[in-house]
A and B are shown apart, each in its own frame.
Chain A
Amino acid sequence: MAKLTIAQALNQALELALAEDPSVVVLGEDVGKDGGVFRITDGLFDKFGPDRVIDTPLAESGIVGTSVGLAMAGMKPVAEIQFFGFIYETMDQIASQAARVRFRSLGRYSAPMVIRAPFGGGVKAPEIHSDSLEALFTHTPGIKVVTPSNPYDAKGLLLSAIDDPDPVLFLEPMRLYRAFRDEVPEEPYRVPLGKASVVREGTDVTLIGWGPSMALVLAAADELVAQYDISPEVIDLRTLTPLDEETIVTSVQKTQRAVVVHEAVRTSGFGGEIASIIQEKAFLYLEAPVLRVTGYDTPYPMTMFEDLWLPDTSQVVTAALSSVRF
């Protein structure tokens, strides 16, 4: 089995999808000849040509809006938004249009499309490029939100997202694109949407994260075991909508403690939703309040200070310790 980065695994998934299904098209800014600014579509233009791998004009609302039309008319568009921060440009077309097609037409039409975007910070990109805005979309009924954190899941989840009959927002952790490699089978396989993964089993505290945060959650787990003799259970949500509540609740009922980690700003972040589900469904099991490790309530900081601003491993360790010692 080849060892691939997330970037390579995604590239492979797109190649397989284009080869499998002639209705799949990949579109976006610089996805053609250039292979995308993060090279996720590298080589696809040469293999499949300009009708399948399409450089669009520079207009995000246009990219998503035409994708909605393409999808309603039987194509399977996989649109790239160059950086997740530019998703604001598409808010109407995603939230008021793509997400409502099925509901509005009583099931007569649907918009089976994927919107891919590099997600999260830590790479010192300019303003707006690194914002974590997943909660805007978990707050939007009708669209699924998926975010892998490793190469195996990246490929399997992207293929599931492309198969999915509903619009899927697929968030790719930018700083993990090339951070490490994993064994990834060459053939197509699917990782189901809506199913969290228990990455590590433990008994003392449940650490919950997704996408880019998983890197620090896993590092914190190692540290908790090695330095503090604490056994953390680690959950990678993988899909935020629909949410795998069962895995979360079962785990917290076992460990009786939970820490949620995300890069997004704290207020109205998705961590609040998880804390609330835990308190509704596992209240009597809790030995400590559910804690959140998050970004601060400021705009994503200028790159000079982003390392200070972003949650880090030590904050996750501190939160886990204070939960266990509560």
Chain B
Amino acid sequence: MTDGIEMFPLIQRLDEEGNLTGELGVLSAESLKETYTTMRFLRTFDERAWNLQRQGVIGTYAPFKGQEAAQMGAVAALNDSDWLVPTYRDWAASYLRGVPMEHGLFFSKGHPSLGDIPVGKQVLPAQVVIAAQTLHGVGVAWATKLRHENVATVVTFGDGATSQGDFHEAMNFASVLEVPLIFFCENNQWAISVPLAHQMHAETIAQRSVAYGIEGFRVDGNDYVAVANLMHDLTERVRNGEGPFLVEAVTYRLGAHTTADDPGKYRGTEEEDTWGRRDPLLRLEKWLRAQGLLTDEELVTLDAESEQKVEEILAIFREALSMSPLVLFDNVYATMPTNLASQRAQFEARVKEVGA
């Protein structure tokens, strides 16, 4: 049997205690402070979204708490012409690529604007069908290659997704076509209630790259410094035509799968505590404090600013709730067929009758 852990040693630069075990590389102390500020805001948002579901303001929400470093690192090296192809949990990554944060709330509310990506931002709408987007990622990267665009594409997915046929077809296509794509797996250890060890018999996801004849990497997904540097390196290599690559970011979903899930049914608190100590925020915070770049007072200010930003997002969200339900008919086809137009008219009458 292949020893995947030996073949793909965990790449790490900032350890659990917040000590640098490698170089800052392309990052600087200032940029890390900024990253931390954003991370803290994202954590605030995520926790608030959880509460909003509990208050009935939004529907089912899939928290990304614990995966901030992986998601932020995944897109750290992308520029405006690069593409991100995300899932339902990737609000941190999408936000960094220019998708407004309220889209995370739209998604959970089932608001039609959930997929309305701002023009100019090369991000696909969040995918809910497990692994379907891995093939789209290949297609997007293929298109950029056919047009000689010198652009990188990152497709993100969970560990469970690597069990789907789509993922394997995507890996095979990507490698045969040599497309400029990075497969970025957020291995958060769990697919709802199924642990990785029950999802596959291989030791690592990274080693799956071997079968497809591409390079694979295993990186500490809670270490932003390691993920961001790796992605800088790989993005450049992808642009030089050396891709595709597979990255396994080893991380952990600190919370439930979604607001409809109870992790107490299937996993132990000991495991949760262990990973709690590996929280990507704690690690960065420790390092920044040790550098004298972060103080308690600053944290108080940061939190106040984060709260303020979340309030602004909520205001936009609330405003958007007045959208007309007739939008349901508007984007089924480019031109509305006549029978659909008559159904639309019936629906409009109904909306008038019962009120939207």
> Which residues of A does B touch, CB under 8 Å?
29-30, 32-35, 37, 55, 57-59, 61-62, 86, 88-89, 124-129, 266-267, 296-299, 301-306, 308-309, 314
Contact = CB atoms under 8 A, between A and B. Distances in A.
B163 A299 contact: no
Interface in B100-157: 107, 109-112, 114, 128-130
Contact of A37 (B260, B321, B347): B260
Contacts of B109: 303-304
A266 B161 CA distance: 33
B160 A298 contact: no
B343 interface: yes
Interface in B195-223: 198-200
10 contacts: A29-B192, A89-B129, A126-B128, A129-B128, A296-B328, A296-B340, A298-B332, A298-B340, A304-B110, A305-B328
B339 interface: yes
Given A126-B110, A128-B128, A297-B340, A62 B59 contact: no
Nearest to A129: B128
Interface stretch (B16-24, B67-75, B348-356): B348-356
A125 B110 CA distance: 8
A35 B264 CA distance: 13
B110 to A, nearest CB: 3
B304 to A, nearest CB: 31
Nearest to B332: A298
Contact of A61 (B128, B165, B192): B165
A61 B163 CA distance: 10
A37 B192 contact: yes
Interface residues of B, number: 44
B194 interface: yes
B88 A58 contact: no
Contacts of A30: 192-194
A55 B112 CA distance: 34
| Residue among A59, A128, A266, A314 having the largest count of chain B Cβ atoms under 10 Å | A59
Contacts of B59: 124-126, 303
Given A33-B193, A58-B160, 10 more contacts: A34-B265, A57-B194, A127-B128, A128-B129, A297-B339, A304-B323, A304-B325, A308-B356, A309-B325, A314-B354
Contact of B164 (A59, A126, A127, A309): A59
| Residue among A30, A55, A305 having the largest count of chain B Cβ atoms under 10 Å | A305
Given A34-B193, A297-B332, A58 B164 contact: yes
B148 to A, nearest CB: 35
A160 to B, nearest CB: 30
Nearest to B330: A298
Nearest to B109: A304
B128 A305 contact: no
Nearest to A57: B163
Interface string B227-264: 00000000000000000000000000000000011000
A23 B321 CA distance: 52
Nearest to A126: B128
A266 B337 CA distance: 14
Given A33-B193, A89-B129, A126-B128, A57 B339 contact: no
Nearest to A65: B165
B163 A298 contact: no
A309 B192 contact: no
A34 B265 CA distance: 6
B328 A303 contact: no
A299 to B, nearest CB: 7
A124 B351 CA distance: 19
Which are the 5 A-B pairs with shortest beta-carbon distances? Answer: A303-B110, A34-B193, A57-B163, A58-B160, A302-B110
A73 B161 CA distance: 29
A126 B194 contact: no
B354 A308 contact: yes
A88 B323 CA distance: 30
Contacts of A302: 110-112, 114, 328
